[in-house]
């Protein structure tokens, strides 16, 4: 029962506040008018009491429009000599922002209150005191209403900006996961397809079993990485299966088995890089070899990964490839843009930068620099060209 009541109050909070405000105006104005009429001129009760009730009822629509409550409160002040409706109308128009020129309107209402207070039959006839009351009971509520409106707008802007930040964070996370999926699935499927093609052209049972075992291992590895990826959503976390520098020799050996001619130079002391930075280096080599398989099959490839001062330089450089007839293959510049863009984001996350482009010999080079101690990624230049 308590939860239902709380839910009702939460859903109808504005309406309840409006009813209470109208009730307060009636509760103060009607008894005062009955006990001590203070109108500017003689007004019968059958006219003054309804004016107070109407002024109170117009507050029920104060959030949509202010003019009914403003006009009714002025009439109520003239017929009853009471300024409570004026104060409520002044506060409401500013708090709901229903009147653009609220300062001038509040000043006009304050003048009406001043006249009602000064011209009351039993009044003190002190203009200074009436002016002070007008400012305190009419203009000040309008200022408070404007402050409330500004506060609500500030809270709204903060919520919207928070929502935008959450959306941007979610978008970055989706891109990160998409990049992980791209790197994992593309590499695994490429190797499995190449091995399957070699199996079809091979008649040696021992070699076939070896290649089939390699296909199985790559499939199991890819499934394990995908399962871990789905459970790791924070950018700073790395799955247990995330490969580092120690996995690059196996990556090179795997490429040589599938028809590439790869030479590796790996000279990075253990523990020099954080795990996330090592994984970025691994992905650079992996993406470079995948691109060579797709765009320059049969090419000679040089893979270098070495420490130089406070950075680790990683490069995958290939010469021109050859097609199945032995002729130089022609690269299509638009076929691998997504992988390099995702790789750029990955390297930038660890404070490094990456470049790619053709070599004078007609091949292609993918080069990255990864700092040993990740600095602010924004302070590093980065460039990448679509392949």
DSSP readout, 34-94? HHS---SS---HHHHHHHHHHHHHGGGGTTT-SHHHHHHHHHHHHHH---HHHHHHHHHHH
Query: What is the band of 356 on the pLDDT scale with cuts at 50, 70, 90?
Result: confident
Interval 309-315 mean pLDDT: 89
- Rounded Cα–Cα distance for residues 353 and 244 (Å): 18
Q: Inform me whether the pLDDT recorded for 188 exceeds 80.
A: no
Out of 47-61, 212-226, 239-253, give the one with best mean pLDDT: 47-61
- Scored b (16 or more CB within 10 A) or e, 361-384 reads eebbbbbbbbbbebeebeebeeeb
Q: Is the confidence at residue 231, as pLDDT, over 80?
A: no
Q: What is the pLDDT of residue 325?
A: 42
The rounded mean pLDDT for the chain is 79
Q: Report d(CA 36, CA 329) in Å as an integer.
A: 103
- Specify the pLDDT at position 228: 66
Number of other CB atoms surrounding residue 257 within 10 Å: 15
173 neighbors 233 (Cβ within 8 angstroms)? yes
**Residue 239: predicted pLDDT:** 61
pLDDT at position 142, please? Answer: 93
Measured in degrees and rounded to the nearest 5, phi and psi for residue 288 equal -60, -45
Rounded distance, CA 119 to CA 98, Å? Answer: 30
Whether 237 shows a pLDDT value over 80: the answer reads no
Structure tokens at 172: 């970055």
Question: CA-to-CA distance for 289 and 291, rounded, in angstroms?
Answer: 5
Domains, the chain, in order of start with CATH, read 2-162 (no CATH), 244-387 (3.30.565.10)
Strands 364-371 and 353-358: antiparallel
pLDDT in the model for residue 143: 94
Confidence of residue 235 (pLDDT cuts 50, 70, 90): very low
Q: What is the mean pLDDT of residues 40-68?
A: 86
pLDDT computed for residue 329 by the predictor: 45
Rounded to whole angstroms, the Cα distance separating 278 from 244 reads 5
Which is more confident, 297 or 51? 51
Q: How far apart are CA 187 and CA 100, in angstroms?
A: 62
Q: Is residue 139 scored above 60 in pLDDT?
A: yes
pLDDT tens profile 245-259: 888 998 888 888 777
The pLDDT value given to residue 387: 43
Phi-psi region at 218: left, alpha or beta (left = phi > 0; alpha = psi -120 to 50): alpha
pLDDT of residue 382: 44
End-to-end CA separation in angstroms for the chain: 65
* 134 or 9, which is more confident: 134
Quick check: 210 pLDDT over 50? yes
Q: Taking residues 258-282, what's their average pLDDT? A: 86
In a 10 Å sphere around its CB, with 0-12 CB exposed, 13-18 middle and 19+ buried, how is residue 201 labelled?
A: exposed
The whole-angstrom separation of Cα 201 and Cα 301 is 24
Q: Given pLDDT bands bounded at 50, 70 and 90, which one contains residue 315?
A: very high
Q: Do residues 83 and 113 lie in contact, with contact meaning Cβ atoms separated by under 8 Å? A: yes
Strand ranges in the chain using DSSP code E only, listed in sequence order? 261-267, 300-308, 311-318, 353-358, 364-371
The CA–CA distances, whole Å, from 93 to 60, 66, 69, 115, 201 equal 12, 5, 9, 21, 84
Higher pLDDT, 262 or 222: 262
Give the Cα separation of 142 and 70 in Å (integer). 12
Residue 166 has pLDDT above 50, yes or no: yes
**pLDDT over 90 at 302, yes or no:** yes
30 against 171, higher pLDDT: 30
- Of the listed ranges 124-138, 171-185, 346-360, the one predicted with least confidence: 171-185
Predicted local distance difference test score (pLDDT) of residue 170: 67
Mean pLDDT for the stretch of residues 263-290 = 87
């Amino acid at each position: 029962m308590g939860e239902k009541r709380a839910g009702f109050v939460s859903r109808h909070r504005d309406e309840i506040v409006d009813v209470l405000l109208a009730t307060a105006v009636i509760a103060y104005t009607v008894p005062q008018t009955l006990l001590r009429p203070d109108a500017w001129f003689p007004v019968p009760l059958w006219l003054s009491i309804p004016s107070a009730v109407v002024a109170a009822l117009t507050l029920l629509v104060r959030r949509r429009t202010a003019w009914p409550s403003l006009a009714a409160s002025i009439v109520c002040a003239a017929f009853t000599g009471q300024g409570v409706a004026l104060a409520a109308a002044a506060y409401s128009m500013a708090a709901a922002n229903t009147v653009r020129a609220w300062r001038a309107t509040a000043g006009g209402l304050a003048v009406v209150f001043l006249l009602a207070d000064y011209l009351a039959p039993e009044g003190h006839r002190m203009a200074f005191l009436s002016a002070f009351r007008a400012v305190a009971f009419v203009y000040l509520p309008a200022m408070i209403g404007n402050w409330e409106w500004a506060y609500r707008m500030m809270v709204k802007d903060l919520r919207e900006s928070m929502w935008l930040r959450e959306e941007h964070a979610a978008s970055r996370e989706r891109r990160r996961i998409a990049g992980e999926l791209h790197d994992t699935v593309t590499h695994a499927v490429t190797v499995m397809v190449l091995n399957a093609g070699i199996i079809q052209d091979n008649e040696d049972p021992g070699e076939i079993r070896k290649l089939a075992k390699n296909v199985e291992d790559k499939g199991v590895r890819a499934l394990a990485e995908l399962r871990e990826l789905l459970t790791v959503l924070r950018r700073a976390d790395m799955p247990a299966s995330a490969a580092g520098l120690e996995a690059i020799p196996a990556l090179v050996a795997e490429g040589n088995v599938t028809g590439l001619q790869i030479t590796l130079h790996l000279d990075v002391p253990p523990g020099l890089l954080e795990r996330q930075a090592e994984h970025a280096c691994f992905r650079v080599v992996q993406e470079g070899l995948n691109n060579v398989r797709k765009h320059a099959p049969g090419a000679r490839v040089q893979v270098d990964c070495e420490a130089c001062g406070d950075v680790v330089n990683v490069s995958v450089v290939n010469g021109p490839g050859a097609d199945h007839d032995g002729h130089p293959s022609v690269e299509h510049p638009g076929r691998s843009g997504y992988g390099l863009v995702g790789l750029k984001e990955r390297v930038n996350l660890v404070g490094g930068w990456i470049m790619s482009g053709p070599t004078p010999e007609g091949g292609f080079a993918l080069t990255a620099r990864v700092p040993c101690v990740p600095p602010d990624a924004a302070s590093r230049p980065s460039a990448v060209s679509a392949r």
